[in-house]
Amino acid sequence: MPRLILGSTSPYRRELLTRLRIAFDVVAPEVDETPLAGEAPADLARRLALAKAHAVATQHPDAVVIGSDQVADLHGQPLGKPGDHARATAQLRAMRGQTVVFQTALSVVHAAQSFAQTALVPVQVRFRDLEDAEIEAYLQAEQPYDCAGSAKSEGLGIVLLDAITSDDPTALIGLPLIQTSRMLRAAGVKLL
């Protein structure tokens, strides 16, 4: 079986991939994540997932490489990782009472076999009409400054939400495992 590499520095993606109980390495992709002018959130997520997989596959052509990216889409506007408290507050205020689509893209590349697949797994998240005090209490408790959209649904962030709609429950955390499994099988990786 070919070597498997996760092309990501995300601890959330690493943790999710361990659920498949297969050996893998982690390599940080060197990819500029700056959105292109006028680039839609779904297109940005797809482009970055593929760029990350290709960047690592170029260094390790005999490996099957997974690249992934997620962009929160608020009415066509991309919301990235806030990075700090002030930006997280602004994001959560903008999202209160709104439905946000978390565009999670996945690419699997095996350069030696000329294999490349990319998929988009959108997740619709309806936020409650949050009060400023709730936003502040949440951010103080969880500090989700490294998460697109400033909320961790797998943690306390679930109390900010009214609904989550998706074909793959792990997509919202950052790596859609149903689609990942499908693509890894297509690339020749045995999962069971």
Q: Which of 32, 43, 62, 69 is catalytic?
A: 69
Amino acid code (one letter) for 126:
R
69 is catalytic: yes
Contacts for 48-54: CB closer than 8 Å, 24+ residues apart? 48/105, 49/105, 49/106, 49/107, 49/118, 50/105, 50/107, 50/109, 50/116, 50/118, 52/7, 52/8, 52/107, 53/7, 53/29, 53/107, 53/108, 53/109, 53/116, 54/107, 54/109, 54/116
**Active-site residue list:** 69
